[in-house]
Amino acid sequence: MGKFGFALSPSSRINLDTLDNVKFAHLIEIEPDVLKCMACGSCTASCTAGKFVKTSMRSAILALQNGRNEEAISLLKSCLLCGKCTMVCPRAINTRHLIISILKVYQ
Amino acid sequence: MIYQGKQKIWSDYQKEIPDDHYFYVRSCIRQNLFPASEKTFLDITRNKLGKDFFETEHHTTCGGIAYHCDTIPQETSMTIIARQFALMHKYGYENYVCSCITSFGLYTETLETWHEFPELEAKIKDNLWKTCKLEFAKPKYLAHASDIIYKYRNLIAAQAKYKLINKKTGQPLRVVEHIGCHYGKMFPSKSVGGAEYPYVLAGMIEAWGGEVIDYPERRHCCGYGFRQYHIRSNRGYSLSNTHKKFESMEPYKPDMIITNCPGCPYFLDRWQYVISEMEGKTYGENGHGIPVFTYEEVAGLVMGYNPWDLGLQMHQVGVEPLLEKIGIPYDPKEKYKGPGGKDIGRPELPTCGCL
Amino acid sequence: MRERIAGGYDNFVLPFMIGMTFIFIYLFIALIRLFAHIPPKDRIKFFKSLVNPKILYMNCRDILMDCLLHVKIFKRNLLLGYMHASIAFGWFMLIVVGHIEMWLYVPQRNGLLYYPVFFRYFVKQEGDLTLKGAFFFFLMDFFLLMVLSGVGLAMYKRFRSTAMGMRRTTKPCFADRVALACLWSIFPLRLLAESFTAGIAGGSFLTKPMYWLFANFLSDDTHILPTWWAYSTALGLFFLALPFSRYMHIPTEAFLILLRNAGLKVTKPRKGFAEAEIYSCSSCGICIDACPMNIQKKNLPFSSVYFIRFLRRHNTRKINQISDKCLMCGKCVALCPVGIESCGIKRAQRGTLYNSIKHDYSYLAAAHHTPAGAPEILPDNITPAAMMGTATAVAAPATEKVLYFAGCMTHLTTSIIKNLTEIFESSGTEYVFADKDGGVCCGRPLILAGREDAAKEVIAKNTELIRSSGCKKVVLSCPICLKVLREEYNLKGIELVHHTQFINTLLSQGKIKVAKGAGSMVYHNPCELGRGCGIYREPLNVLEQLGELKRAAKEGKESICCGGSLGSLTLSYEDRGKITQGSLAALTVNNPERIVTACPLCLKTFSDKSDRPVVDIAQIVNENICSVR
Amino acid sequence: MKNIVVIGGGPSGMEASAQLHKMGYNVILVEKSPALGGHLAKWDRLFPQGVHAGNILEGMISNINGVKYFLNANVQSINALGKSYNVILDNGITVLADAVLFATGFDLFKAEKKEEYGYGIYEHVITNADLENWFRTKNDQRIVENPKRIGFVHCVGSRDEKAGNRYCSKVCCATAVKQACEIKQEFPGAEVFCFYMDLRMFGRGYEDLYLSAQKEYGVRFIRGRVSEVAENINKELVVKAEDTLSGKPLKVTIDLLVLMSGMQNCSAGVKVAGQIGVAGMENDGFFETKDSIYSLQQALKPGVFFAGACTGPKTLPDSLHEARAAALAIHTYLQARDHQ
């Protein structure tokens, strides 16, 4: 805070200009289904782990696309891989493999 | 930027500005922060251009800051405004001009509200009579003081001693124009040039020889934002907004900034000092800041006023490098002398190019 | 019968001896390496098993039945079984009888490896044929004929595999082709060699006539030695190619039986027990037809046989590709004549990829089961803290109530929950609904994905929750949960049953009675219930009481996965759809009105693609309950 | 022989003319521009399958063989005369028409009206129509070589009270997704962003188009309306929007911005219709039909008919269906009139 008692506040803005896409490209290679999400939220609504702690496939995909990798991991590390999201996804995304791949690529 | 495209938009936002006979109201904070600006405005309009600008000591604050900080209700501020208009009417004027952007925004908002809700207007009329026994009136024309200078820009240019041109290189100065949010963003049609590409200051810059620079965050607020600055814990947010603007304009290497709002020149000027203290970063040439001016100050400069009579010694960012660039003579010894040669003191921490 | 060649040696035995020496050294080193990778605890277990008479008996029986007689293949297809058994058993007997002959006639040559193999070259028949001699001559010719008939069938199978009940066969690799060429030539060459020497060394119904036949147009004996050379060379080459070919299964398979009977399991995907399994694969290709994925030709390279081949070649990319794709339905394991647990190896392989993935299940500490609404079903002395499963939780006093554990997937198929709870009520079963408001995943999906460590935390939590209920019986709707609860949980003293079993018991105890009004139906046996938990009889028993049970094209342990399996990590939705359609086609060959299954995942997967109603067994039972209690 | 004046030589005007001509009516087709085809003539390919607009147009033009048509012709005046309409064209021709069909189509929303997007002000901002023109001619200075990033702004002048158009223009979502794929074909190395409020992929094959844009072309869909666009010192465009799914403001710098201009009722058509008291609806400016379900081709005035986008945003197949329906409606009307 220094002598002023306040400081520049960090930007909460998503800056796509500074996005590093290398990992995401790698993820697409492993599991191209990541591109298919249309953010309907079914996965999050049906999530077994989501009953206890915020767990969201949809938000994680979005976070990755916005360069918020840490956030994506924190949204998925609670996942139990039960597969309910795979069953309810209207775009038939292979969510379990996507989750494992995200955790593997970004950890 | 395609200039013809902007011109087309400007032609869509032509505002009618009467030539003469105005009722002038000052700004609360400008009188404190840039006291010479309003004085210069009246001097130019009355004495150099021979126009009729009337002011009365009876006018008060418009209540804008209190209104925007939610400390007084709308009806109260409307009644205050009705009183100002009534004063104008009482002294026989119908063109109203204010020095403050917040006031201008609030006046416009009030007039539009009365137009949409006549019953509210009737109520305010009633309030006015009950409280002040004054006759309700509405101005025929409402203008901001920068509209007036915009209107007279070519007359001023005709009398100008200096141009906004780098004396050494002969190149036009690169000028950032910053418009107060409440000037055109609320009612684009009431502004010169609209909200997206306002022309009011750009017109002055062009007329006086400078070159307007357009940078991505030009629309962004200076960071004042009433509630943000007034609460100390929010000041970091206020500062961050200013910081964002400077980061955005930096690649264009601006020579100066012109503003038309009470808060903007203050924050664009003072926050440069704070940023340099915090981050060690300055945005002007040679480790200096970028000097920030009100449009009256710039008008005064081109017309050859003594910089210290324009109150430029009150700025945080020193103006001397710019004066030298333009070729305006100044006496460094006179800088901190007030009326009658009295010493007005010096800044304690002269940084950020404060000479 | 006495020795013909002085010194009992000829140079032509050299190729054989080189091959034999090589293979012995190779096997010896391999054995040591394999033992080195077996966890010490397992090693001790193995050596102890060798002196355990019961296991010893099992070992002998299994080696005879599986390695020599190939009983499993016989059960599948007679001709195919005979082909395998004739070569294996015939060859084995040739070796045994060969040794016996040596011991009997030339005991001084005992210990010479090559001697019994080339016995007929080194001896000559003297005097009249004795009965004993004739007996051995007959045996040797008989088993040679047996082997030859097997080789003949094998050749025939190359061209027409369907005749042996195999739609598709394995594509042999180069070493396989070399070994195969040798194998195919060994026995015809032996026949030739023994026939040529039959005039000197004697022979029986096969070699003697051959001798006479050749004697008609072969004027001298110069062709004898080259033929023996050829025979020896074929053998030698075969042994040299052996470790690099599928025939490595011959020595390994017997050893695998010993390891398996000792109770060892796969721990690493490539080393130790797994290595024994890998080299026991005979590449017979039965798993190719078994795999539900192979409804599409493009998936053939993902069959277990190729998985094992790539494991042998250390081709990590392909290994991972196949292990990630596998449905883990277990059908290839169920049908494998050698009993190779390829799913276990795949799981271990996934473990190398995914077990290290970090997880955070700290939220589980606060998780608790929400018993079905009303507080009165809680025994009085269970504190809320106990139900919360906090550190203070103690095992609750035993209760007669059953614990119903629906599982994650069952919450997507509300018909199962609704019908089963109605059955509970109809039958007067008092129950506690463990995860009425959603529970904690059972952990099997994590295990299937190779994340054993993560699964352990989930298992510990669920164990605690189940124990804290005080119930002595858990009824589960999801076979995936059932399998993991049985295999990985420590729930001693608590009975774990699937709802098919539970309903079957209710019927047999007369707690519910059903009418035979369900019309015609076919039963789909879910992978995890049938092959996974061995529950085949109970559902059929229930359904037989409800209506006309039609046959499916593939049933029991050959039941085809619905395509929805959680086992596969990378199989695309489109490819899964093809499997679902294939499975449905097999189920509906006899045109049943409805398809009945007993797994929420199968129910949901089939429902999306089926042209006729798909229901859970609980629903069809509940619909037909005619009287209660 | 009965005269029918068809105003507008776009797809629906041509299709209706061809059908009416086949039925034996004397059709006079009036087109204000120098060529037939309307907006279709300016388009390169059509969603969802990417059929070439030129091929479709050729087929339509060959279909109107025998129809009298006037190019560069405007309706100078039109007035009711008993049950007929007296139509005077500015080329001196006068027709006493038994029925008049308005197939006047639409105007594209003028993108410069959305000042904050900087069309006509920033060097690399273009519209959907400009992009189609570029696809056909490959001639547009505003499109830089090998752009790294390209943005599409959906709903420009649609679903926007400020722009005066509250309605959805129906075709822009599919057009944007189609164009996003096409520009990715042109510049495979570019990142493409679509800023949308809702994706309205309602038609057959449209959802497939959307999926392929995501899966095959890696187009990034950002759910948020672009709030402002600025030009930086390199003449790149700094686009700001809220990523509403994350609830965070978002910034991205791009090389080319394509504005999906929506549809408005054709101003020239409105002027002509006004002369016989046929006007646009207050809420959206499109012509008022006799009812909203059953008689979409009839105007409130007898003898006046509509086809195509003059009664609301429509896709090309929609407009063609309406053209055929209008031909039948005119035929039914004229037969009924004769019986009376």
Q: How distant, in Å, are the alpha carbons of B275, B296, C192, C236, D157 from that of B303?
A: 33, 10, 124, 111, 46
Q: What mean pLDDT is predicted for residues C227-244?
A: 92
Provide, rounded to the nearest whole percent, the portion of chain C with pLDDT above 90. 63
Q: Where are the alpha helices (DSSP H) in C409-565?
A: 414-426, 444-448, 452-469, 479-488, 499-508, 530-533, 537-544
Query: Do B215 and D230 lie within an 8 Å CB cutoff?
Result: yes
How many other C-beta atoms can be found within 10 angstroms of the C-beta atom of residue C501? 23
Please give the Cα distance from A90 to A69 (Å, whole number). Answer: 25
Which position has the higher pLDDT, B355 or B107?
B107
State how far residue C408 is from chain A, nearest Cα, in angstroms. 7
Query: Do B2 and D120 lie within an 8 Å CB cutoff?
Result: yes
Q: Where are the alpha helices (DSSP H) in C197-330?
A: 198-201, 207-215, 224-241, 249-261, 273-280, 286-290, 304-313, 316-325
Helix, strand and coil percent figures for chain D, each rounded to 5: 30, 30, 40
Residue with tokens 């001699």: C133
Instruction: Enumerate the β-bridge partners of residue C614.
Output: C595
Residue C129: the pLDDT is 66
Please give the Cα distance from C180 to C178 (Å, whole number). Answer: 5
Interface size between A and B, measured as CB pairs under 8 A: 31
How many other C-beta atoms can be found within 10 angstroms of the C-beta atom of residue C394? 11
Q: Which segment of B221-235, C548-562, D157-171 scores lowest on mean pLDDT?
A: B221-235
Please give the Cα distance from C93 to C142 (Å, whole number). Answer: 10
Of A13, A39, A91, the CB nearest to D249: A13
Q: Write out the two tokens for C324.
A: 């990630």
Of A14, A21, A35, the CB nearest to D243: A14
Residue B50: the pLDDT is 96
Output phi, psi for D286, to 5 deg. -80, 155
Q: Would you say D304 and D102 are in contact if contact means Cβ atoms under 8 Å apart?
A: yes
Give the residue from A76, A87, A101, A102 with the most C CB atoms within 10 Å of its CB, the best one to mutate: A87
Interface size between A and C, measured as CB pairs under 8 A: 81
Please give the Cα distance from C563 to D320 (Å, whole number). Answer: 44
Query: Do C353 and A104 lie within an 8 Å CB cutoff?
Result: yes
What is D111-261's CATH number? 3.50.50.60
Please give the Cα distance from B353 to B334 (Å, whole number). Answer: 18
Q: Which segment of B51-55, C272-276, C502-506 scores lowest on mean pLDDT?
A: C272-276
State how far residue A47 is from chain C, nearest Cα, in angstroms. 9
Amino acid at D110: K
Query: Do B252 and D233 lie within an 8 Å CB cutoff?
Result: yes
Chains B and C are in contact, defined as 3 or more C-beta pairs closer than 8 angstroms: no
Q: How distant, in Å, are the alpha carbons of C139, D199, D242 from that of D195?
A: 85, 10, 10
User: Computed from CA positions of residues A68, A71, A76, A77, in that sequence, does the dihedral angle turn out positive or negative?
Assistant: positive
Cis preceding-peptide flag for C600 (omega within 30 of 0): no
ipTM over 0.90: no
Instruction: Specify the DSSP element, H or E, that contains A59.
Output: helix A57-65
- Kindly state whether B47 is in contact with chain A, defined as any CB-CB distance less than 8 angstroms: no
Please give the Cα distance from B236 to B111 (Å, whole number). Answer: 35
By C-alpha distance, which of C402, C392, C450, C404 is closest to C568?
C450
Q: What mean pLDDT is predicted for residues C102-118?
A: 85
| Segments of chain B assigned to CATH 3.40.50.11810 | 162-341
Residue C373 pLDDT greater than 70, yes or no: no
User: Computed from CA positions of residues C507, C508, C509, C514, in that sequence, does the dihedral angle turn out positive or negative?
Assistant: positive
Query: Do A91 and D249 lie within an 8 Å CB cutoff?
Result: no
- Tens digits of residue pLDDT in D129-172: 999 999 999 999 999 999 999 999 999 999 998 888 999 999 99
Q: Calculate ∠ Cα B177-B180-B182, nearest 5°.
A: 145
- Tens digits of residue pLDDT in D196-253: 999 999 999 999 999 999 999 999 999 999 988 999 999 999 999 999 999 889 999 9
Residue C272: the pLDDT is 87
State how far residue B251 is from chain D, nearest Cα, in angstroms. 7
Please give the Cα distance from C575 to A72 (Å, whole number). Answer: 29
Q: Write out the two tokens for C233.
A: 């060379």
Which chain B residues are Cβ-neighbours of A12 within 8 angstroms? none
Residue A67: the pLDDT is 92
Q: Which segment of B320-329, B342-351, C619-628 scores lowest on mean pLDDT?
A: B342-351
Of C354, C359, C601, the CB nearest to A77: C359
Query: Do A2 and B274 lie within an 8 Å CB cutoff?
Result: no
pLDDT band at C267 (very low <50, low <70, confident <90, very high): confident
- Tens digits of residue pLDDT in C273-306: 999 999 999 888 889 999 999 999 999 999 999 9
- Tens digits of residue pLDDT in D83-112: 999 999 999 999 999 999 999 999 999 999
- Kindly state whether B252 is in contact with chain D, defined as any CB-CB distance less than 8 angstroms: yes
C360: helix, coil or strand? coil
Of B234, B243, B274, the CB nearest to A4: B274
- Kindly state whether B232 is in contact with chain A, defined as any CB-CB distance less than 8 angstroms: yes
Provide, rounded to the nearest whole percent, the portion of chain D with pLDDT above 70. 100
Q: Write out the two tokens for D267.
A: 């101003």
C8: helix, coil or strand? helix
Q: What mean pLDDT is predicted for residues B275-304?
A: 94
Which chain A residues are Cβ-neighbours of C365 within 8 angstroms? none
By C-alpha distance, which of C534, C444, C541 is closest to C502?
C541
pTM summary value? 0.85
Q: Write out the two tokens for C106.
A: 């030339």
Nearest CA in chain D to A18: D252
Q: Would you say A61 and A34 are in contact if contact means Cβ atoms under 8 Å apart?
A: yes
How many other C-beta atoms can be found within 10 angstroms of the C-beta atom of residue B321? 18
* HEC assignment per residue over D7-22: ECCCHHHHHHHHHHHH
Which residues in C90-111 are b (16+ Cβ under 10 Å) and which e? bbbbbeebbeebbeebbeebee
Query: Do A9 and B240 lie within an 8 Å CB cutoff?
Result: yes
- Tens digits of residue pLDDT in C302-349: 999 999 999 999 999 999 999 999 999 999 999 998 889 999 999 999
The CATH classification of domain B162-341, taken from the options 2.40.40.20, 3.40.1000.10, 3.90.1200.10, 3.40.50.11810: 3.40.50.11810
Residue A2 pLDDT greater than 70, yes or no: no
- Tens digits of residue pLDDT in C608-627: 999 999 999 999 999 999 86
DSSP A48: S
pLDDT band at C9 (very low <50, low <70, confident <90, very high): confident
Chains C and A are in contact, defined as 3 or more C-beta pairs closer than 8 angstroms: yes
Residue C370: the pLDDT is 53
Which chains reach chain C with 3 or more Cβ–Cβ distances below 8 angstroms?
A: A
Q: Write out the two tokens for B46.
A: 């009355």
Q: Would you say C534 and C572 are in contact if contact means Cβ atoms under 8 Å apart?
A: no
Q: Write out the two tokens for C185.
A: 């030539």
Q: Would you say D52 and D45 are in contact if contact means Cβ atoms under 8 Å apart?
A: yes
HSE-CB for C33 with a 13 A CA cutoff: 11
Q: Would you say C554 and C527 are in contact if contact means Cβ atoms under 8 Å apart?
A: no
State how far residue D166 is from chain A, nearest Cα, in angstroms. 25
- Tens digits of residue pLDDT in C119-128: 888 888 877 6
Q: Which residue ranges make up each domain of chain D?
A: 3-105+266-339, 111-261
Give the residue from B176, B189, B196, B199 with the most D CB atoms within 10 Å of its CB, the best one to mutate: B196
Q: Which residue ranges make up each domain of chain A?
A: 19-106
Output phi, psi for D197, to 5 deg. -100, -50
Of D243, D249, D252, the CB nearest to A17: D252
Query: Do A16 and D250 lie within an 8 Å CB cutoff?
Result: yes
* HEC assignment per residue over chain B: CCHHHHHHHHHHCCCCCCCCCEEEECCHHHHHHCHHHHHHHHHHHHHHCCCCEECCCCCCCCCHHHHHCCCCCHHHHHHHHHHHHHHHHHCCCCEEEECCHHHHHHHHHHHHHHHHCHHHHHHHHHHHHHHHCCCCCCCCEEEEHHHHHHHCHHHHHHHCCCCCECCCCCCECEEEEECCHHHHCCCHHHCCCCCCCCCHHHHHHHHCCCEECCCCCCCCCCCCCCHHHHCHHHHHHHHHHHHHHHHHHHHHCCCEEEECCCHHHHHHHHHHHHHHHHHCCCCCHHHCCCCEEEHHHHHHHHCCCCCCCCCHHHCCCCCHHHHHHHCCCCCHHHCCECHHHCECCCCCCCCCCCC
Q: List the strands of the sheet with C431-433, edge to edge.
A: C431-433, C399-405, C471-476, C495-498
- Kindly state whether A9 is in contact with chain B, defined as any CB-CB distance less than 8 angstroms: yes
Query: Do A104 and C604 lie within an 8 Å CB cutoff?
Result: no
Which chain A residues are Cβ-neighbours of D218 within 8 angstroms? 28, 35
Q: What mean pLDDT is predicted for residues C41-59?
A: 91
Please give the Cα distance from C583 to D257 (Å, whole number). Answer: 50
Q: Would you say A61 and A37 are in contact if contact means Cβ atoms under 8 Å apart?
A: yes
| Segments of chain B assigned to CATH 1.20.1050.140 | 3-145
Which chains reach chain A with 3 or more Cβ–Cβ distances below 8 angstroms?
A: B, C, D
Query: Do D251 and A15 lie within an 8 Å CB cutoff?
Result: yes
Question: Ramachandran region of residue D219, left (φ > 0), alpha (ψ -120 to 50) or beta?
Answer: beta
Please give the Cα distance from D197 to C396 (Å, whole number). Answer: 55
Interface size between A and D, measured as CB pairs under 8 A: 53
Of A3, A4, A8, the CB nearest to B243: A8
Residue D1: the pLDDT is 85
By C-alpha distance, which of C342, C334, C400 is closest to C558?
C334
Which chain A residues are Cβ-neighbours of B244 within 8 angstroms? 11
Please give the Cα distance from C358 to A49 (Å, whole number). Answer: 16
Instruction: Specify the DSSP element, H or E, that contains C618.
Output: helix C617-623
CA D166 to chain centre: 16
Query: Using alpha carbons only, how large is chain A's radius of gyration in Å?
Result: 16
Query: Do B236 and A11 lie within an 8 Å CB cutoff?
Result: no
- Kindly state whether D248 is in contact with chain A, defined as any CB-CB distance less than 8 angstroms: yes
Residue D294 pLDDT greater than 70, yes or no: yes
Report whether CATH 4.10.910.10 matches the domain B3-145: no
By C-alpha distance, which of D112, D122, D203 is closest to D163?
D112
Of D121, D228, D233, the CB nearest to B219: D228
Please give the Cα distance from C176 to C238 (Å, whole number). Answer: 10
CATH architecture of D3-105+266-339: 3-Layer(bba) Sandwich (3.50)
C513: helix, coil or strand? strand
State how far residue A16 is from chain C, nearest Cα, in angstroms. 28
By C-alpha distance, which of B202, B178, B160, B192 is closest to B294?
B178
Instruction: Specify the DSSP element, H or E, that contains C3.
Output: strand C2-3
B342-351, C17-26, C219-228: which has the highest mean pLDDT?
C17-26
State how far residue B258 is from chain D, nearest Cα, in angstroms. 20
Output phi, psi for C571, to 5 deg. -60, 130
Residue B239 pLDDT greater than 50, yes or no: yes
Q: Would you say C214 and C194 are in contact if contact means Cβ atoms under 8 Å apart?
A: no
